[in-house]
């Protein structure tokens, strides 16, 4: 709360993000139009007071579909960051703290994943798992964790030789207690910053899988899938693909700006460890 008072930009960004997420979470409950029910008589209606974002090729309200799709896109992005961050952080903590042959093996596996283009590797995983939102999230998480592993390992290497860690080890504290009580809190700020910055990228990544047909199944809306469905009509019926693309753009910008502000808040504290 002190950080919010000292940094009004952070407070504004958090407020905008809360409004944006709240709109996608509760917006479908307010809109009367069914985002899944076709109405051929209403197809390709341009934006109007009745349909502020127009209708698509099946007469479905684009605004309702964008709002409902936000639930899936934001939820999928959060799941990718949490799952990938958890796997990568565990690998990084173990690798950086224990070192030796365990560090060598884990880092070689990490480099093996980093050696492939992330999207191509995720497409291979998604093709193996099958189409669907859960499968797409799992495929994205399996290529997302190496970044966290490298980041956390570097942070642990910088922290494990500090005096408070050595003092805990000298007092006979077990490795698990030293990790959880001293090392993890010292690295937590950097993990939060990366997770915040990654949220927008994860949403964009999942949308890319959806655009390629490896995301949610029709007629369930998801921003990437909506853009893929609008591709044949986007030159003439621009609103069908513009608004889900704009939703992705706004989300990425908000999370990137929020991550920058959180980094500015946490960096001075990191220097005081």
3-state secondary structure of 43: coil
φ, ψ dihedrals at 55, nearest 5°? -125, 160
Per the domain annotation, does 230 fall within a domain?
A: yes
Quote the pLDDT of residue 89: 92
Model confidence at 105: pLDDT above 80:
yes
Percent with pLDDT over 70 in the chain: 95
* Reported confidence tier of residue 39, pLDDT bands at 50, 70, 90: confident
Per the domain annotation, does 34 fall within a domain?
A: no
Number of domains into which the chain is organized = 1
Q: What is the CA radius of gyration of the chain?
A: 22
Q: Are 72 and 220 in contact (CB under 8 A)?
A: yes
Quote the pLDDT of residue 1: 63
Cα 250 versus chain centre, distance: 14
Model confidence at 268: pLDDT above 70:
no
- The CATH number of the domain where 120 resides is what? 1.10.3720.10
Q: Which domain holds residue 166?
A: 63-271
Per the domain annotation, does 257 fall within a domain?
A: yes
Per the domain annotation, does 11 fall within a domain?
A: no
27 Cβ contact partners less than 8 Å away, ≥ 6 residues apart: 64, 67, 68, 70
Per the domain annotation, does 46 fall within a domain?
A: no
Per the domain annotation, does 52 fall within a domain?
A: no
| Distance of alpha carbon 64 from alpha carbon 56, whole angstroms | 11
Per the domain annotation, does 16 fall within a domain?
A: no
* pLDDT 10s digits, 121-141: 888 888 888 778 888 899 999
Per the domain annotation, does 32 fall within a domain?
A: no
Q: Cα separations (Å) of 254 from 9, 125, 140, 257, 262?
A: 12, 29, 21, 5, 12
Helix or strand (DSSP H, E) at 6: helix 2-6
Q: Are 83 and 134 in contact (CB under 8 A)?
A: no
| Distance of alpha carbon 71 from alpha carbon 59, whole angstroms | 21
**Rounded mean pLDDT of 63-88?**
91
């Amino acid at each position: 709360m002190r950080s919010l008072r000292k940094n009004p930009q952070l407070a504004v960004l958090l407020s905008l993000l809360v409004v944006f997420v709240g709109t996608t979470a509760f917006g479908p409950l307010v809109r009367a139009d069914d985002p899944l029910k076709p109405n051929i008589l209403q197809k390709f209606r341009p934006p109007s007071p009745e349909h502020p974002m127009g209708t698509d090729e099946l007469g479905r309200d684009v605004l309702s579909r964008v709002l409902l799709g936000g639930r899936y896109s934001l939820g999928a992005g959060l799941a990718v960051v949490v799952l990938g961050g958890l796997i990568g952080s565990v690998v990084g903590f173990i690798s950086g703290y224990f070192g030796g042959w365990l560090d060598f093996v884990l880092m070689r596996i990490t480099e093996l994943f980093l050696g492939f283009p992330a999207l191509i590797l995720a497409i291979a995983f998604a093709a193996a798992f099958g189409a669907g939102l859960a499968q797409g999230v799992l495929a994205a998480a399996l290529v997302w964790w190496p970044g966290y592993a490298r980041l956390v390992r570097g942070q642990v290497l910088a922290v494990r030789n500090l005096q408070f860690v050595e003092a805990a080890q000298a007092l006979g504290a077990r490795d698990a207690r030293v990790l959880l009580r001293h090392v993890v809190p010292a690295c937590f700020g950097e993990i939060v910053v990366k997770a915040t910055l990654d949220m927008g990228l994860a949403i964009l990544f999942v949308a890319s899988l959806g655009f390629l047909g490896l995301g949610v199944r029709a007629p369930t809306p998801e921003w990437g899938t909506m853009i893929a469905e609008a591709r044949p009509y986007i030159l003439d019926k621009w609103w069908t693909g513009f608004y889900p693309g704009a939703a992705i753009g706004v989300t990425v910008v908000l999370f990137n700006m929020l991550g920058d502000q959180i980094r500015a808040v946490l960096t001075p504290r990191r220097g005081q460890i």
